[in-house]
Amino acid sequence: MSAPSTSRPGRPKMSVIAAPFTRTLSRKLLVPWWLFLLTGIGWMLVALIVLRFDYKTVNAIAILFGIVAIAAGVLEIGITVLAEGWWRLLYGVLAVVFMAAGVVSFIHPGDTFLALAAVISFFLVFAGTFDIITAISARKEIEVWWLQLVGGIIELALGFWAAGYYGRSAILLVAWVGAFAVIRGVMDIVLAFRVHALQHASASA
Q: For 118-162, how does the pLDDT look when each residue is reduced to its tens digit (9 = 90+)?
A: 889 999 999 999 999 988 987 877 778 899 899 999 999 999 998
**C-alpha distance from residue 137 to each of 124, 132, 142, 178 (Å):** 20, 9, 10, 27
143 SS3 class = coil
Q: For residue 178, is pLDDT > 80?
A: yes
What pLDDT, on a 0 to 100 scale, did the predictor assign at position 14?
39
Average pLDDT, the chain: 79
Confidence of residue 105 (pLDDT cuts 50, 70, 90): confident
Domain boundaries, the chain: 33-199
Range of lowest pLDDT (16-25, 107-116, 132-141) = 16-25
What is the rounded distance in angstroms from the CA atom of residue 75 to the CA atom of residue 121? 20
Instruction: Supply the pLDDT for residue 36.
Output: 82
Q: List the one residue out of 38, 70, 74, 7 whose CA is nearest residue 196.
A: 38
Tens of pLDDT, residues 32-46 = 788 888 889 999 998
User: Which sign does the torsion angle of CA 144, 145, 151, 154 carry?
Assistant: negative
Confidence of residue 12 (pLDDT cuts 50, 70, 90): very low
